Amino acid sequence: MADSSHGHGHTPAAWTGVIIAFIGFCVAGAFMVMDNPLGFWGGMVIVVLSGVVGMIMRAMGLGAPKAQPLKMTTGATQPARTVTTREPVPAES
């Protein structure tokens, strides 16, 4: 399962965004326990800013490259395979 990620999320932009979001959730959680709504919403602002930072870093080229569309070939390079049909076999009782 670990080999099937194909580099998903292994970029500086992704790591930075996740770390900042983690810090924001920790701040919000701490202030929620301390019963301080202003600090809680401050932590949520940090979480939102993590997405903005991640997108800015991706725009700077530190994210995963966009996937290129596959190019189709115009002509067939191999002859088409013929499909043979099989006749049904009666069931023995």
In a domain, 16, yes or no: yes
R_g (Cα) of the chain, nearest Å: 27
In a domain, 43, yes or no: yes
pLDDT in tens, the chain (93 residues): 455 556 667 899 999 999 999 999 999 999 999 999 999 999 999 999 999 999 999 999 888 887 777 777 765 566 566 667 777 778 876
In a domain, 73, yes or no: no
Structural domains counted in the chain? 1
Q: Which domain holds residue 17?
A: 9-61
In a domain, 52, yes or no: yes
pTM above the 0.85 mark? no
In a domain, 79, yes or no: no
Instruction: Compute the distance between CA of residue 63 and CA of residue 40 in angstroms, rounded to an integer.
Output: 29
In a domain, 48, yes or no: yes
In a domain, 50, yes or no: yes
In a domain, 71, yes or no: no
Structure tokens at 30: 């701490």
